[in-house]
Structure 1
Amino acid sequence: MNMMNPKILVVEDEAPIVTLLRYNLEREGFEVLEAGDGEEAILLAMEKGPDLILLDWMLPLLSGVEVCRRLRRTPETKGVPVIMLTARGDEGDRIRGLNAGADDYITKPFSPSELIARIRAVLRRTRPASDAETLQFEDLEMDLAAHKVRRNSREIHLGPTEFRLLRYFLEHPGRVFSREQLLDRVWGPDIYVEPRTVDVHIRRLRKAINIDTESDLIRTVRSAGYALDRPTAPA
């Protein structure tokens, strides 16, 4: 998988939505392929080897669910992650999509930033383990292979939750995440944790990565959430 410019196959028959998706995906550095129906989607998926497929539920000729089933039965495409796009919010439909082999599910209308975040999360989950790497922001560095964190060459010891939290921030520098989004991405959607728990872990993370002479890299955005960001100079 090319993690610098992942290739996204957009399977959608509504031109305005395709235009919107292409604009937002290309702005984030993704390469975009398009298919207007299920048959074309399956052919393109086999020929072009996309890194992820955005698949609309309501398609001409073949439904998105049937396309997903066929992709999963085909050796060349069975490992390609699929996110289903749908106007259906019914829990039963969501389960049908996931049972057909979808990796995630997002209901229209959705915000482009939410969709991009979901795409990145699915790509991370399906990335081969051999893609070990180093994440860096300012003078903070995370070695994923060695499971170590350093700032200015000083080794930082983090608990498992703080490590996952920092990793998520390092993968999305500058973006503001609400407590609920952090709970979903870091703790997982199936684990019930009070949103205020995030504040406790943020405090622990801040204490670990910042010492008196260092700038605070975690920004609190009032009534919105938190971000890993460059500190603003004092007025």
Structure 2
Amino acid sequence: MRHILIIDDDIYIGNMLEEVLSQLNYQISRAYSGTEALLLLSSSKPDLILLDLMLPGLSGEEVLPKIKGIPVIIVSAKVDVDNKVDLLIGGAVDYITKPFEIKELIARITVQLRRLSTYNDSVCIVFDDIQMDPLLHDVTISGNAVKLTRTEFAILKILMQNPTQVISKSAILDHISIDTPDCTDTSLKIHVSNLRKKLREVNGKEYIEAVWGIGFKLITP
């Protein structure tokens, strides 16, 4: 499930966005000031941010340079062209002016998340001595190839993309449902067990642990 952070002190707009985007199966977080937004970002990393400019405390213009590695769509009543250009050059990926058509904003969000998925699938992922190439569907441990099924690969991928987090069973199933629609809550345990065995057989190390009642996480070396 993709995670979107809405940074906007306008309660009405924020509530409307949260309701619409939640119905589209996005996970939503809210921040009502620039300071609160930076506090949230210090402990979590959403997939995309909707950022208003006229915020109490730190303004959107002050918050934007502090956001690294997350696509930001500016959602603001400011219409000055120079201001838009400066923000796009300064790191925003898009700019939409209030009032806006919700269908247009959803389309822009979809485009950015699609680009993010394409980028993520073109970059090798590394955890400890495991290296994964999403494009080649290739996994190695210290250079030794590990042959995984499509479902095992998808499970390992989401764990490696979130190496410090416990990933719930429901989140894993939701994330891999497009690639592996045959995976169910019951079969997930079997897939994870087989994955752990294949990784362990390379050098005897355990890489994945079950967190009782929640899900699974990688074991930090």
Relative to the length of structure 2, the TM-score reads 0.59
Distance 1:174 1:17, change over 3 A: closer
- State whether residues 178 and 225 of structure 1, in contact with CA within 8 Å, keep that contact through their aligned partners in structure 2: yes
Among 170, 189, 198, the residue aligned to 1:180: 170
Aligned positions of 1:66-85 closer than 5 A:
66-71=100-105, 79-81=108-110
Distance 1:166 1:71, change over 3 A: same
Distance 1:29 1:162, change over 3 A: closer
Deviation for aligned residue 1:187: 1.6
Identity, in percent, stands at: 19
Among 141, 147, 155, the residue aligned to 1:165: 155
Q: Are 2:7 and 1:10 aligned? A: yes
Whole-Å Cα distance in 1 between the matches of residues 143 and 166 of structure 2? 27
Matched residue, 1:40: 76
- State whether residues 161 and 201 of structure 1, in contact with CA within 8 Å, keep that contact through their aligned partners in structure 2: yes
Deviation for aligned residue 1:29: 6.3
Distance 1:39 1:152, change over 3 A: closer
Whole-Å Cα distance in 2 between the matches of residues 195 and 52 of structure 1? 38
What is the count of residue pairs matched by the alignment?
170
Relative to the length of structure 1, the TM-score reads 0.56
Whole-Å Cα distance in 1 between the matches of residues 75 and 130 of structure 2? 47
Distance 1:151 1:212, change over 3 A: closer
Unaligned runs of 5+ in 2: 15-29, 56-73
Matched residue, 1:126: 115
Unaligned runs of 5+ in 1: 1-7, 56-60, 73-77, 82-102, 104-121
Q: Are 2:200 and 1:210 aligned? A: yes
Deviation for aligned residue 1:13: 1.4
- State whether residues 22 and 32 of structure 1, in contact with CA within 8 Å, keep that contact through their aligned partners in structure 2: no
Deviation for aligned residue 1:164: 1.1
Whole-Å Cα distance in 2 between the matches of residues 193 and 160 of structure 1? 10
How much is the aligned-residue C-alpha RMSD, in angstroms? 4.1
Whole-Å Cα distance in 1 between the matches of residues 132 and 167 of structure 2? 20
